[in-house]
């Protein structure tokens, strides 16, 4: 069995030698380069824009503004069109850095130079700079493509139950705006041949984004071919088509040449979204024995003047604990920043900070162990639908992670553990993520050289999907993983689920499994019907895949290789089709992924920077496809959220609202020296209710709960409760 094995990534060699080809590495003859000019103001209008000097600059082919742009055929639908306003559509400016001109030249340097020569006359209006400035204007958004999650949920009467509860916690929690900060800046290369458009785009899904481009340019979808083989980090910011994706084909039409747009590092911070800042209140009511009676979770996030995009911080709350009376609400408020985007893990990671911090506060107030508090409120069934959970192993996660961490050594008294000048704190928090599935298609071709080829449009984002899906096909056909190759990242291939929302393993993985089974079935049918085959006349159900071929289940000696079978029959490839259709809302079971985190922090009592020296997490995600890539992905998710806990903060300028950490120098993410020991446990149970493969998603659940776990450990170490992320030294002085 290849599934479950700790196999190194199949593309690892290419990546470390530089042979891996990312979007920016694609070369097409005659490519011109476009640079996007961003607005210097955050609110107002372009009163005038003088492009004459830029147009005369060396190498310049075109300068496109709202005054001379071609029309878009239509506005493609949100949410996967990131902004509901098409770029350059009018003279209005809604946020700093919003694109107001496209400069196309022979070289990127020429375009950059010419962009400095564009003179813009702005009409400034007064911006709404920050979430705080807009907080009083918060509202429930009308449901639309972006506000997809219900804004309110209610069961019982939470206000009355809260008032009646003997113990209460009512606090406000804040999360900062965060940037995805991938290594790879987004890049799009587009060219037209008549009405056929070829587009290389750093996208997390060619099949989700291709129709958007087709609609915007008014061409049939099958005239657009979109490629993306590898993404150099996305974390959600490449799960949308941001304005540059539409500007590249527009510019290519104008100059009648291939045009590449690679946004600048600064534009990564302004032009491809962010996780919106939130202000949340959590009100908990409980009995003296820790049983939750009431829970109210209210969240407000900033959104742009263009769109109503929820950071769905309280959306998961109704599903997490067995609370009879509960009210959750999500509101938004308009600020002059760009539209936010999904960032690992949308909604849930911000929400878990508030909810799981509040639970820690409640445990402290009750004098109860925080883990015990969570055990007492364990949701044995989905509290929203009443359906049984599929494969929920959260209690086992609690047990195994607590034991590995040594939670029983914790003296509950804050400030009780020291080592020299270090204050030591232990904290924990839980996490939950609703499992999402999408239809996915793949084919698996058995070839007459005894290998197999997977064909599916999946994009490899670094999570290990190329490897795990190869393992699935290998097992399905009885081949070594090395005998499986993968054609991927091309919209001409069968449509994979997008590489976001933790859907690769469950959805695309299931499609590959079905395709491999279909190919195997075809091979078996061929063999049992072939007089020259040693398997001729056998019952197909008795034939199994084994070591590169087929054999009888009960008589291992009787069989033959795929190679022999196909060559004898003069068949180059046998194709198996896989079409995974999730059961959706009608399923018998409720599906989610679950996790728990335990964190040890050390804080020098004079110079209080929080160091996470040890972190143990356990996850319930069904079946683990590859122990190595899974551990790696979980560690990455944990580290990402340690950044959010301790340092990441996309600060807005308090006057203009412009983000003022425009480079990786300023926008701090953890460096290697910040990372302590991270131990990951998977409580495995193949979850075949979820899908044929038994695997649920990991990429997102691994990043839910870490911030609260750290904050709770900081409280344990210092007695100080920090309710506003990130927990920087100034908050601990």
Partner 1 sequence: MRPFHYTRAGDVAEALRILSQDEGAALIAGGTDLVTLMRDGISGPSHLVDVNGLGLDEVRWLPGGGVRLGAMCRNAANDSRLRRAYPVLSEALRSGASPQIRNRASVGGNLLQQTRCTYFRLPEFACNRRNAGSGCSALQGDSHAQAIFGASSQCVAVHPSDFSVALQALDAVVLTEGTRGRRRIPVDQFFRLPGDTPQVTTELRRDELIVGVELPDSPFAARSHYVKFRERASYAFALVSAAVAVEVRSGTVRSARVALGGVAAKPWRSQAAEEALVGARLNEETIAAAGDAAARGAQPQRHNAYKVELVRRVVRQALSELG
Judged by the rule CB under 8 A, the positions of this chain that interact with partner 1 are 40-41, 96, 109, 112-113, 116, 266, 606-607, 609, 611, 646-647, 651-656, 658, 660-663, 665-666, 668, 670-674, 728-730, 733
Q: How far apart are CA 727 and CA 612, in angstroms?
A: 12
Structure token pair of residue 509: 């993985």
For partner 1, give the closer residue by CB, 46 or 503: 46
Min dist. Cβ of residue 57 to partner 1 (A): 9
Q: How far apart are CA 51 and CA 444, in angstroms?
A: 53
Q: How far apart are CA 392 and CA 394, in angstroms?
A: 6
Identify the residue whose tokens are 């049992």: 528
Min dist. Cβ of residue 562 to partner 1 (A): 50
Min dist. Cβ of residue 132 to partner 1 (A): 13
Distances (CA, A) of 227 to 212, 214, 575: 14, 14, 23
Q: Which residues contact 25 (CB under 8 A, 6 or more apart)?
A: none
Identify the residue whose tokens are 């990131």: 82
Kindly report the number of other CB atoms within 10 A of residue 488's CB atom. 25
For partner 1, give the closer residue by CB, 66 or 611: 611
Q: How far apart are CA 249 and CA 142, in angstroms?
A: 32
Min dist. Cβ of residue 632 to partner 1 (A): 22
Q: How far apart are CA 428 and CA 707, in angstroms?
A: 10
Min dist. Cβ of residue 662 to partner 1 (A): 6
For partner 1, give the closer residue by CB, 253 or 668: 668
For partner 1, give the closer residue by CB, 342 or 706: 706
> Does residue 700 have an active-site annotation?
yes
- Strand, coil or helix: 682: strand
Q: How far apart are CA 702 and CA 630, in angstroms?
A: 10
Min dist. Cβ of residue 84 to partner 1 (A): 25
Nearest to 453 by CA among 495, 493, 485: 485
For partner 1, give the closer residue by CB, 352 or 646: 646
Identify the residue whose tokens are 């609260």: 708
For partner 1, give the closer residue by CB, 292 or 424: 424
* b/e map 194-227, b = 16+ CB within 10 Å: eeebbbbbbbbbbbbbbbbbbbbbebeeebbebb
Q: How far apart are CA 109 and CA 113, in angstroms?
A: 6
Min dist. Cβ of residue 423 to partner 1 (A): 15
Structure token pair of residue 515: 């395709």
Distances (CA, A) of 631 to 4, 5, 618, 686: 11, 12, 11, 17
Min dist. Cβ of residue 112 to partner 1 (A): 5
For partner 1, give the closer residue by CB, 157 or 264: 264
Nearest to 622 by CA among 493, 731, 733, 468: 468
* CA 510 to chain CA mean position, Å: 19
Kindly report the number of other CB atoms within 10 A of residue 351's CB atom. 32
Q: What single string gives the DSSP state of each residue in 344-384?
A: SSTTHHHHHHHHHHHHHHHHHHHT--HHHHHHHTB-SB-TT
Min dist. Cβ of residue 709 to partner 1 (A): 19
| Catalytic one of 184, 600, 684, 700 | 700
Instruction: Report the 3 state secondary structure along 141-193.
Output: CCCCCCCCCCCEEEECCHHHHHHHCCEEEEEEEEECCECCCCCCCCEEEEEEE
For partner 1, give the closer residue by CB, 567 or 611: 611
For partner 1, give the closer residue by CB, 656 or 709: 656
Provide the annotated active-site residues. Answer: 700
């Amino acid at each position: 069995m290849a599934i479950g094995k700790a196999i190194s990534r199949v593309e690892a060699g290419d990546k470390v030698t530089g042979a891996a080809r990312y979007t920016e590495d694609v070369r097409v003859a005659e490519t011109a380069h476009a640079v996007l000019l961003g607005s210097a103001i955050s609110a107002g209008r372009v009163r005038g824009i003088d492009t004459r000097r830029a147009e005369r600059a060396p190498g310049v082919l075109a300068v496109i503004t709202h005054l001379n742009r071609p029309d878009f055929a239509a506005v493609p639908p949100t949410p996967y069109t990131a902004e509901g306003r098409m770029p350059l559509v009018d003279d209005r400016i809604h946020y700093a850095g919003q694109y107001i001109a496209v400069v196309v030249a022979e070289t990127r340097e020429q375009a950059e130079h010419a962009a400095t020569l564009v003179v813009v006359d702005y009409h400034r209006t007064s911006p709404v700079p920050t979430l705080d400035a807009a907080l009083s204007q918060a509202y429930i958004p009308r449901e639309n493509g972006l506000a997809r999650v219900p804004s309110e949920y209610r069961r019982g009467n939470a206000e009355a139950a809260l008032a009646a509860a003997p113990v209460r916690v009512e606090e406000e929690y804040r999360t900062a705006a965060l940037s995805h900060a991938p290594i790879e800046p987004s890049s799009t290369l587009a060219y037209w041949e008549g009405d056929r458009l070829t587009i290389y785009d750093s996208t997390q899904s060619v099949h989700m984004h291709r129709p958007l481009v087709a609609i915007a340019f008014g061409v049939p979808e099958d005239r657009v071919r979109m490629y993306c083989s590898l993404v150099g980090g996305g974390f959600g910011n490449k799960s949308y088509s941001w304005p540059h994706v539409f500007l590249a084909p527009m510019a290519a039409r104008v100059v009648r040449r291939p045009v590449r747009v690679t946004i600048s590092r600064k534009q990564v911070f302004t032009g491809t979204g962010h996780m919106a800042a939130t202000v949340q209140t959590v009100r908990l009511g409980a009995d003296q024995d820790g049983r939750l009676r009431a829970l109210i979770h209210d969240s407000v996030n900033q959104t742009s003047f263009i769109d109503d995009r929820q950071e769905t911080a309280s959306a998961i709350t109704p599903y997490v604990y067995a609370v009879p009376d509960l009210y959750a609400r999500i509101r938004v408020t308009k600020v002059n920043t760009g539209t936010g985007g999904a960032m690992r893990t949308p909604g849930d990671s911000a929400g878990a900070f508030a909810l799981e911090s509040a639970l820690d506060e409640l445990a402290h107030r009750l004098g109860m162990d925080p883990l015990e508090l969570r055990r007492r409120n364990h949701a044995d069934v989905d509290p929203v639908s009443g359906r049984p959970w599929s494969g929920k192993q959260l209690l086992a996660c609690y047990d195994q992670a607590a034991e590995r961490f040594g939670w029983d050594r914790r003296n509950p008294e804050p400030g009780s553990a020291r080592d020299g000048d270090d204050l030591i704190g232990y904290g924990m928090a839980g996490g939950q993520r609703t499992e999402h599935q999408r239809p996915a298609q793949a084919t698996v071709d058995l070839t007459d050289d005894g290998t197999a080829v997977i064909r599916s449009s999946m994009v490899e984002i670094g999570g290990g999907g190329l490897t795990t899906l190869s393992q699935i096909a290998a097992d399905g056909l009885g081949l070594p993983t090395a005998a499986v190759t993968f054609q991927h990242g091309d919209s001409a291939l069968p449509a994979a689920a997008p590489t976001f929302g933790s859907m690769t393993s469950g959805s695309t993985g299931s499609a590959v499994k079905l395709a491999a089974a279909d190919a195997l079935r075809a091979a078996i049918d061929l063999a049992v019907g072939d007089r020259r085959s040693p398997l001729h006349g056998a019952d197909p159900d008795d034939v199994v895949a084994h070591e590169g071929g087929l054999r009888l289940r009960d008589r291992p000696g009787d069989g033959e290789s795929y190679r022999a079978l196909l060559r004898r029959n003069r068949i180059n490839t046998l194709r198996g089709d896989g079409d995974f259709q999730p059961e959706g809302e009608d399923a018998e079971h409720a599906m989610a992924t679950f996790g728990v985190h335990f964190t040890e922090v050390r804080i020098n009592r004079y110079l209080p920077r929080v160091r996470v020296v040890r972190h143990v997490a356990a996850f319930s995600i069904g079946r683990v496809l590859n122990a190595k890539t899974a551990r790696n992905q979980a560690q990455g998710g944990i580290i990402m959220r340690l950044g959010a806990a301790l340092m990441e903060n996309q600060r807005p300028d308090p006057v203009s609202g412009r983000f003022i950490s425009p480079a990786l120098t300023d926008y701090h993410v953890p460096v290697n020296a910040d990372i302590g020991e991270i131990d990951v446990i998977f409580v495995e149970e193949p979850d075949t209710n979820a899908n044929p493969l038994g695997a649920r998603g990991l990429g997102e659940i691994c990043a839910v709960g870490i911030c609260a776990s750290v904050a709770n450990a900081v409280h344990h170490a210092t007695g100080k409760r920090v309710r506003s992320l990130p927990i920087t030294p100034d908050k601990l002085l």
